[in-house]
């Protein structure tokens, strides 16, 4: 009986925590870097309701450093580099993670259905021209919290060179830096299940050739003035003849000495 009561109390506590979680998720923000081999890293910030961590020890334990590290240690291809949880109202959990591939990141998210809603599924294919197409599907999984229409999820993705973004369905694209951004309300993610689609292109070899030629031209323009400033040594000319001695006026001789015995 006692064991049944304890089990019922645990279930009740879980239901209370779930109801608190369902009250409102305050926001989701992600900054991801994807390398040319589709590995990468990401900084994820999840803003939580102010009642979760401050009032219930069970939820504090759930978001503790020890438990978060334990969960990540069992994931394949995913590494937790750092984790922090801010204090005060609307605590913010910040995760910095590294992943070996997008497929590994998607597989790790699939093991946590609430997280999968916002992290999504990754599908990597190639088009008819051999270009890599990365599609990220959000809204899959099962949310344990209400996703309100007045709270937002923001995604920023940077594709590392030498891969550049060719085509994208992003509303914001920074071509010079290979950045794309997306923004939806949390309710849109749950109901519309949006996708992010980006096509990656590797630069042609002649781009590197032109780049090398431009670099050499710039280097030449820098070094040429340095050579011009060097003094040029002039060759030595024939030896100059010595100037003839000037004629001097003859001196007048003195009177002759009279002969006599030596003194």
Q: What is the pLDDT of residues 238-262, one digit of tens each?
A: 555 555 555 555 556 556 666 656 6
Residues of the chain with pLDDT under 70: 1-24, 51-60, 144-145, 204-213, 220, 223-224, 226-263
The beta strand positions in the chain, using DSSP E, are 27-34, 40-47, 78-85, 92-99, 121-126, 132-137, 152-159, 164-168, 172-174, 179-185, 195-201
- What's the CA gap between 190 and 253, in Å, rounded? 133
Give the strands of the sheet with 78-85, arranged side by side: 78-85, 92-99, 40-47, 27-34, 152-159, 179-185, 172-174
pLDDT for position 243: 55
pLDDT for position 5: 40
pTM score > 0.75 for this model? no
Any idea what DSSP says for residue 173? E
- What's the CA gap between 168 and 154, in Å, rounded? 16
Any idea what DSSP says for residue 36? T
pLDDT for position 249: 58
Which CATH number is associated with domain 22-206? 2.60.40
Domain boundaries, the chain: 22-206
What count of Cα atoms within 13 Å lies in the side-chain half-sphere of residue 13?
Answer: 12
């Amino acid at each position: 009986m006692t064991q049944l009561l304890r089990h019922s109390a645990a279930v009740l506590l879980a239901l209370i925590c779930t109801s608190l979680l369902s009250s409102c998720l305050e926001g989701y923000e992600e900054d991801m870097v994807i390398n040319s081999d589709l590995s990468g890293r990401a900084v994820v910030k999840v803003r939580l309701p102010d009642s979760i961590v401050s009032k219930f020890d069970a939820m504090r334990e759930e978001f503790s450093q020890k438990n978060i590290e334990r969960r990540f240690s069992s994931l394949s291809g995913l590494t937790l580099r750092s984790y922090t949880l801010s204090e005060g109202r609307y605590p913010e959990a910040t995760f910095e993670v590294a992943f070996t591939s997008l497929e590994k990141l998607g597989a790790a998210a699939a093991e946590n259905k609430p997280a999968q809603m916002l992290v999504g599924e990754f599908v990597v294919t190639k088009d008819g021209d051999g270009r890599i197409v990365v599609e990220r599907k959000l809204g899959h999984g099962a949310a344990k919290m209400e996703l309100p229409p007045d709270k937002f999820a923001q995604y920023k993705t940077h594709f590392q060179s030498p891969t550049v973004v060719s085509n994208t369905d992003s509303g914001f694209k920074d071509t010079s830096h290979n950045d794309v951004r997306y923004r939806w309300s949390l309710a849109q993610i749950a109901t519309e299940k949006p996708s992010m689609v980006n096509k990656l292109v590797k630069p042609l070899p002649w781009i590197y050739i032109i780049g090398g030629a431009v670099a050499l031209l710039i280097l030449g323009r820098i070094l040429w003035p340095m050579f011009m400033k060097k003094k040029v040594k002039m060759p030595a000319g024939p030896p100059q003849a010595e100037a003839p001695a000037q004629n001097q006026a003859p001196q007048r001789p003195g009177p002759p000495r009279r002969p006599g015995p030596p003194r």
